[in-house]
Chain A
Amino acid sequence: MIALLITLLAPVAGALVLAVLRPLGPAGWLNVAVSTITFGAAAWLTWTVAASGEIAGYSFRVDDFNVYLVALTAFIGLTTSIFSRPYMRHVCDTVLTRKRGMRVYHSMYQAFMFTMLLALTTDNLGVLWVAVEGATLATVLLVSLYRTPEAVEAAWKYFILCGVGIALALFGTVLTYFAAQHVVSDPSAGLTWSTLYRHAGHLEPAVMRLAFVFLLVGYGTKVGLVPMHQWLPDAHSEGPTPMSAVLSGLLLNVALYAVVRLKMLVDGSLAASAAPHLAGYLLMGFGLLSFLVAGLFLHRQRDIKRMFSYSSIEHMGLMTFAFGLGGPLATFGALLHMLVHSLTKSAIFVTVGHAAHIAGTQSIERIRGLIRTQPAVGWSLLIAVSAIAGFPPFGVFTSEFLLLTATMQAQPWLTVALLSGLAIAFAGLFRHLHPMVYGAPPEGQKPVRANMLPVAIHLALVLWLGLAIPGFLAQWLDRATELITGSHLL
Chain B
Amino acid sequence: MSPTLLPLLQQIVLVLAAIVLFTSFVLLAQARLVAAIHAFAWQGALVAAVTTVVAATGQTHHLYFSALLTLVLKALLIPWMLHRLTRRLALDRHVESLHRPALVIMAAVALVIFSYWLVLPIVQQEMTFTRNIVAISLAVVLIGLLMMVFRQQAVAQVLGFMSMENGLFLAAVSATAGMPLVVELGVAFDVLVAMVLFGVFFFQIRESIDSLDVDRLNRLTETAEEGIVAAGRTTPRAVAGEDG
Contacts and interface: CB of A to CB of B under 8 A. Distances in A.
State if A and B touch, Cβ cutoff 8 Å: yes
Interface of A: 59, 90-91, 94-96, 124, 126-127, 129-130, 133-134, 137, 140-141, 144, 146-150, 152-157, 159-160, 163-164, 167-168, 170-171, 174-175, 177-178, 181-182, 187-188, 190-191, 204, 206-207, 209-210, 234, 237-238, 297, 300-303, 306, 356-363, 365-366, 446, 448-449
A155 B194 CA distance: 13
A195 B122 CA distance: 21
Interface string B172-214: 1001100110110011011001100110110011011100001
Given A94-B244, A150-B235, A156-B217, A303 B121 contact: no
B183 A130 contact: yes
Contacts of B201: 140, 144, 152, 155-156, 159
A448 B241 contact: yes
Contact of B238 (A159, A238, A361): A361
Given A149-B209, A153-B219, A210-B119, A171 B204 contact: no
B226 A302 contact: yes
A181 B198 CA distance: 35
Contact of A174 (B144, B172, B229): B172
B148 to A, nearest CB: 6
Nearest to B209: A149
Contacts of A356: 237, 241
A446 B241 CA distance: 9
Interface of B: 118-119, 121-122, 124-126, 138, 141, 144-145, 148, 154, 157, 161, 164-165, 168, 171-172, 175-176, 179-180, 182-183, 186-187, 189-190, 193-194, 197-198, 200-201, 204-205, 207-209, 214, 217-220, 222-223, 225-226, 229, 233, 235-244
A95 B190 contact: no
A431 B184 CA distance: 50
B164 A167 contact: yes
A170 B233 CA distance: 40
A174 B171 contact: yes
Contact of A360 (B141, B187, B222, B238): B238
Contact of A127 (B154, B165, B183): B183
Overall SS of chain B's interface: helix
B207 A147 contact: yes
13 contacts: A91-B236, A126-B183, A141-B200, A144-B204, A153-B219, A156-B201, A159-B197, A160-B157, A167-B165, A187-B180, A300-B222, A357-B241, A360-B241
Residue among A137, A361, A363 with most chain B CB within 10 A: A361
Contacts of A302: 225-226, 229
A97 to B, nearest CB: 10
A175 B157 CA distance: 26
B141 A94 contact: no
A124 B190 contact: no
Contacts of B182: 59, 124, 126-127
Given A124-B182, A206-B125, A154 B187 contact: no
A432 B118 CA distance: 46
A141 B197 contact: yes
A238 B220 contact: yes
Nearest to A126: B183
A177 B119 contact: no
Contacts of A363: 225, 229, 233
Given A150-B219, A207-B122, A357 B240 contact: yes
Nearest to B198: A159
Contact of B197 (A140, A446, A449): A140
B175 to A, nearest CB: 4
Contact of A95 (B124, B208, B236): B236
B240 A171 contact: no
A358 B241 contact: yes
Contacts of A95: 236-237, 239-240
Given A126-B180, A144-B204, A190-B180, 16 more contacts: A126-B187, A133-B194, A149-B208, A152-B201, A153-B219, A154-B220, A159-B198, A170-B168, A171-B138, A178-B175, A188-B180, A206-B124, A210-B121, A360-B240, A361-B241, A449-B244
B187 A170 contact: yes
A273 B171 CA distance: 26
A147 B239 CA distance: 14
A63 B218 CA distance: 44
B179 A174 contact: yes
